Amino acid sequence: MKTAASLVIAAATLVMGTPVWAQFAKPEDAIKYRQSVMFLMSQHVGRIGAMVSGKAPYDAQAAVDNAALVAELSKRPWPAFVAGSDKGAIPTRAKTEIWVEQQKFKENQEKLMAETAKLLEAAKTNNLDNLKAAFGPTGGACKNCHDTYRKDV
Ligand code: ASC
């Protein structure tokens, strides 16, 4: 029975590509996972944004800590955009184009990872002007991808 089930899974994998249950039990787990990462990213980008805009005092160590987390989190949503998770038991704003324009979507991911890595380097200089200069391009990478691949509500 176990062998038969494994064979079915192996055959299905060959036919359909990497299925949703490769890493997530169900589509809504993948949706919840990527939304959770995005939420955390927005919180920590927001903390840097507050310093950059002068709404919060500049704290060099806090900038580094937040930027390090953002740089790490920027790598994490992508495996959760698995095939078959364009819909699930919970709502998703991910556009179906994500699964059609895979190369273009990947370029957007790489842009975000590159910009957040630069943001972290800028934060480590302990210089607010450097942080400000790197913040714009990071926000731009967030926005470009959202404009293209996130449904309006
Ligand atoms: C955030 C957040 C976004 C981006 C975007 C940047 O903090 O939640 O979606 O930054 O607003 O333009």
The mean pLDDT of 49-74, rounded to a whole number, is 98
CA 9 – ligand 1 centroid, Å: 39
* Cβ–Cβ under 8 Å, residues 50 and 44: no
Residue 127 sits at φ, ψ, to 5 deg, of -130, 120
| 45 pocket-lining for ligand 1 (C-beta < 6 Å) | yes
Q: How confident is the model over 68-112, as pLDDT tens digits?
A: 999 999 999 999 999 999 999 999 999 999 999 999 999 999 999
CA 23 – ligand 1 centroid, Å: 27
* Cβ–Cβ under 8 Å, residues 41 and 72: no
The C-alpha atoms of residue 147 and residue 130 are separated, in whole angstroms, by 26
The C-alpha atoms of residue 28 and residue 142 are separated, in whole angstroms, by 23
| 143 pocket-lining for ligand 1 (C-beta < 6 Å) | yes
Q: Residue 15 burial by CB count (10 A; 0-12/13-18/19+): exposed, middle or buried?
A: exposed
